[in-house]
A and B are shown apart, each in its own frame.
Chain A
Amino acid sequence: MEIPPSHYPATRAAVVAVNYINYQHGSPNKIFTLQKVTKASTEDIPDVGHKYHLKFSLEDILHQDNAINCTAEILYLLSNQRTAPQVHFTVEGEFKKNTDEADNKFYNRIKSLQEPLVAQNIPDNYGNTSPEMEPISHLARVACGYIIWQNSTENTLYNLFQIRDVKQVVSNAPISALG
């Protein structure tokens, strides 16, 4: 059944997919946001759940002139099973931008800080983020991508607003951050 691509039921499903994509592919220098849903339909799968078929465009937060077309299926399982929606997606072309160099630069910067990084309110209450904190905010979006995907239902629309607290924890493994 076709549904209006501009209305919230389609938006909610698309946002789940985008968060899943950020969890899978995001980095301190690569985060995607939903640009526009162009086509949406729903399918009821008896005894299993409710599936959304979507076509939408994404943009990379750091390269906004470049829209990326996506097709996705989001299956919300029946509500008495508290499991994450199943997401399958394909993109036209690939996530072109390779950010390994920028990501490694960030990693090395954080690794060589004299004191472990501690910060609050990113962005601040007025919407401002300092340039040094931008990669931290992107990292938070990657992590929240997982949280939002895991906790989404057909009737939720989660969004990350603000990192309240971030504390760098030094360990032998690559960077971890709490917050």
Chain B
Amino acid sequence: MNCLMVNNQRRERGTSNFNYGAYHPLESIYAALDDLAAEYPSLVSKQEIGESYEKRPMYILKFSTGGTSRSAIWLDAGIHSREWITQATALWTAQKIASEYGNNPSVTSLLNRMDIFLLVVTNPDGYAFTHTNNRMWRKTRSKNSGSLCVGVDPNRNWDAGFGGPGASTNPCSESYHGPSANSEVEVKNVVNFIKSHGKIKAFLTLHSYSQLLLFPFGYKCTNPADYNELDTVGKAAASALASLYGTTYKVGTICSTIYQASGGSIDWSYDYGIKYSFAFELRDTGRYGFLLPASQIIPTAEETWLGLLKIMEHVRDNQS
């Protein structure tokens, strides 16, 4: 009886009462995912793709207007838990996608042909830890055998140049790559999903901070075969993003723009065959860094949306 009442209460509140311009703990984010699925039942559904190390569910939202085995776009946020602007931006984006279907011709045509999968909290254990213990926690919370230090950098743990330059062998390091590729269950869950889906055409991931739009490679300092196209699309996306509030992004490969870093997610997705692999580093450029004030959540999400849409439109129009 009580459970039923709580569910009804959640449904009544709906997403119009949720404050997208604030930072929320994990439980509130998960409740908001349910609310979105309830508010847009013919478009949005929630799926569990596995559990984290500490057994928290990992939920994705699927945006689909039907069809069978459609091509899809993947978007994730919060792989590094302290990058709070990313989970907040992803949640706002979920609401935006849902509300734009049927209203925005571009989004409507996109969703009439392709699905979108959105993982708002890729690293839920880390995110919970940033609320309860250490605001600056970055890694997973897995125990490292033989060490007192906890956690693996989930963005050094992918099977792309694993163990190479730009990742640490020391469990106490913020960029510890882990004992082996995909050792982190959070990474493994995403890899399994992508592989079993089989028709993911774009892999987009949100990080902060620095205001960069990056594409492969990070594990090696040579350009990808699709350099010209990715650079062109990236520059168009950065330009669209800047058009709203003047926020400037730099575009380039990971290695040349920032530094060589092995085991990163978009290198894996690109080498796996997903050509449109991009990583956003959101606001700001260092004044607040990871501690971006909540007043910047909605402006950041609004401008990032323009960049994301530009990339998604290109994928829609060029998918093979």
Chain A interfacial residues counted at CB < 8 A: 18
Q: Decide if B288 is an interface residue (CB 8 Å cutoff).
A: yes
Contact across chains for A161 and B136 when beta carbons are under 8 A apart: yes
Question: Interface of chain B, helix or strand or loop or mixed?
Answer: loop
CA distance A175 to B130 in the complex (A): 33
Whether A7 sits at the interface, judged by CB under 8 Å, is yes
Cβ contact within 8 Å between B291 and A123: yes
Interface majority SS (helix, strand, loop, mixed), chain A: loop
A6 touches B293 (CB 8 A): no
Q: Which of A131-161 contact B (CB under 8 A)?
A: 155, 159, 161
> B134 — nearest CB in chain A belongs to which residue?
A125
A42 partner residues in chain B, CB cutoff 8 A? none
List 16 contacting pairs A-B, 8 Å CB cutoff, sorted by A.
A6-B250, A7-B252, A7-B256, A7-B257, A15-B286, A33-B287, A61-B287, A123-B288, A123-B293, A125-B130, A126-B291, A126-B293, A155-B259, A159-B286, A159-B289, A161-B136
Cβ-defined partner of B291 (8 Å) among A7, A8, A162: A162
Please give the residue numbers on chain A whose beta carbons come within 8 Å of chain B beta carbons, in ascending order: 4, 6-8, 15, 33-34, 61, 123-128, 155, 159, 161-162
A33 to B288, CA, bound (A): 11
Is B23 part of the contact surface with A, judged by Cβ < 8 Å? yes
Is B70 an interface residue, CB under 8 A from the partner?
Answer: no
Which residues of chain A come closer than 8 Å to B286, judged between CB atoms?
A: 15, 33-34, 159
* Complex interface: chain A residues within 8 A of B144 (CB): none
Q: Is B309 an interface residue (CB 8 A)?
A: no
Q: For B252, what are the chain A residues with a Cβ–Cβ distance below 8 Å?
A: 6-7
Q: Which residues of A contact B259 (CB under 8 A)?
A: 8, 155
